A and B are shown apart, each in its own frame.
Chain A
């Protein structure tokens, strides 16, 4: 038996022994997802146990080094872990911007002290992070951001405003882009800093989304004092860190175009329309769903292939933009089809039967996929310029 097969057997046995039955049921709504953090209230004892056991094994961040609390797994082993979790239907123990975004940036740009201080609490789900990038006048043109951090000798003094900060009102810490040199060209005066959202001078105001939820906020900084040691990477070189982190954010968002664990459109349509002669009763919808399934399966394979290429050092560094673009568009298409398959049932907005309009709200939420993390148009710009090397400014 190869090492990988042995690992597969051990992993399956461990998951069977340690993943509570409740945590093997499909995620049915936002409420079933665990985000952790200082203020987190666990939905159930099972949710807490599942997080604690996975964190103990380092498997909330399987590929991070063990020294920082991670699982220390190779890419192949992590693939096996994901596959075995999918087979048993295990929920993700923890959703986390710390794991998906900040962690990879700290592993690359952080000092040893920063890694030891920030990474283990991320793995354990103890500190929840939010992302302070966008501002009212700096969206796609992110590098024109204006939030200021002034050097006050022993600390930075931060003033300004962020917007669209996802979960800022629930997060414990923020990773934030600030302008540290207003005189420099716009990309060269930006720094990447970390601070506690409980610092005096930080306030948030939730913004309502079309889904009726308010997962993001306006975030204000009024003379916030930040220790000098909370700078990540070099002073005024925060743009490098920011871009590197964005590639990871894009991978996370493109993952939403991934099929695993998501509702099957064919199955929903079969319930609402029924079969005639073995085929969905609406042949036009059936054709659209089938064409979608071809694209979705092929896209999942493309994500896998890009990962394999990255490992073999054959992938283009901007490949995450290609996947982000396609994954976001695919996920929007999936929810359009789910709504069409659901018919009038999918339109209910309140009440137990629809779990408070879960499908309709999710459908509306997916419209942001092609906006957040850089819009589809921006991803296409990046592919055209960096991968295809087409001319022009």
Chain B
């Protein structure tokens, strides 16, 4: 396996690149932000995502998807990162589709997938309950009630939860609040009685939600995968999310670095381009090296998910940790090397810094994933 894109994958990248640069550049995010858009993303843009097939990138062809792999999903995520494009691509097309494809029977897949692929339904994943990512720490309870379940508890940082029609909710059906055993994933209708959704506008002008579930009832067939045995499914879904977010982080880092390089060539002080100063040259060269290394870790994680989904945990953690710390370095260096300009709202650099912070926090920051790697290595 070679750690570069195949010809088809490179073509997909070019399609996504020109489509997003044209239809959803950073100005698009600004516009949504400045008019306090009710959804925080563009529904007509999302319809075009569906027309291009992006919404079905991971869904099987039998259900109308493209049946492509994680490398292809990552290719699109990277372009989203470059343009800071707000869309439910991660939540709906990657996380929800993965949960359904790996956790729902054929009949339920046939019910939901075509609607997700057409863009008619938006899905989101509800896992975390506290401010830091800690997936086994689920307190939201699901108790048996009649033939189904009754759910009570809260969720936070549910990305795109404010616009979701369908929620994949991690709940506790057994065990203690930090056990991996006793977890179950449920599909919950966002309009179910007892469910309240509070939109949380985040620092990066993207959106998430806090959920409160009070005696929300679901049927037995709302269970994805095994009741009490949802951990493996959840980790699989999360690993797809982590590798995808790592791809987006690489897009953020590479784009912000490119803009910084241009600035180093243009901006003059002391009668010469600031890019002539060796102090800045060395920092730029170091950053370039780090970004190249992060790219290798990320494409490897995506390929590993395609080749051995269950065995991808270490590769994914390396990618998320590396891409996260490198992107943070990239945005910080970018602001510094832009001087006062980097601090202005008018200039885009700050928007990249904000997005980086959110993506770093999402599904485990570099500390979380370095710790996970150490656990996998037994120390």
Which residues of A line the B interface, CB within 8 A? 264, 266-267, 269-270, 275, 278-280, 286-287, 289-291, 293-295, 297-299, 301-302, 304-306, 308-309, 311-312, 314, 322, 325-326, 377, 379-381, 383-385, 387-388, 390-392
Contacts and interface: CB of A to CB of B under 8 A. Distances in A.
B321 to A, nearest CB: 5
A309 B2 CA distance: 9
Contacts of A306: 292, 296
A264 B321 CA distance: 20
Contacts of B92: none
Given A266-B378, A293-B370, A390-B281, A301 B296 contact: yes
Given A286-B374, A291-B370, A294-B369, A326 B293 contact: yes
B275 A390 contact: yes
Given A380-B286, A390-B276, A294 B296 contact: no
Contacts of A322: 285, 288-289, 292
B288 A391 contact: no
A381 B278 contact: yes
A294 B297 CA distance: 9
A122 B289 CA distance: 33
Contacts of A325: 285-286, 289
Interface of B: 2-4, 261, 264-265, 272-273, 275-278, 281-282, 284-286, 288-290, 292-297, 299-300, 314, 317-319, 321-322, 366-367, 369-371, 373-375, 377-379
A66 B69 CA distance: 40
A377 B282 contact: yes
Nearest to A279: B379
Q: Is the interface of A mostly helix, strand, loop or mixed?
A: helix
B4 to A, nearest CB: 5
20 contacts: A266-B377, A267-B379, A270-B379, A280-B379, A286-B374, A294-B370, A297-B314, A298-B293, A305-B4, A314-B4, A322-B285, A322-B289, A380-B282, A381-B281, A384-B281, A387-B288, A388-B285, A388-B288, A391-B265, A391-B276
10 closest A-B pairs by beta carbon, nearest first, are A392-B276, A384-B281, A383-B285, A266-B379, A290-B370, A305-B3, A301-B296, A298-B297, A302-B296, A290-B374
A290 B318 CA distance: 10
B231 to A, nearest CB: 18
B299 to A, nearest CB: 7
A325 B275 CA distance: 20
Contacts of A383: 285, 288-289
A32 to B, nearest CB: 26
A308 B2 CA distance: 6
A293 B374 contact: yes
B261 A390 contact: yes
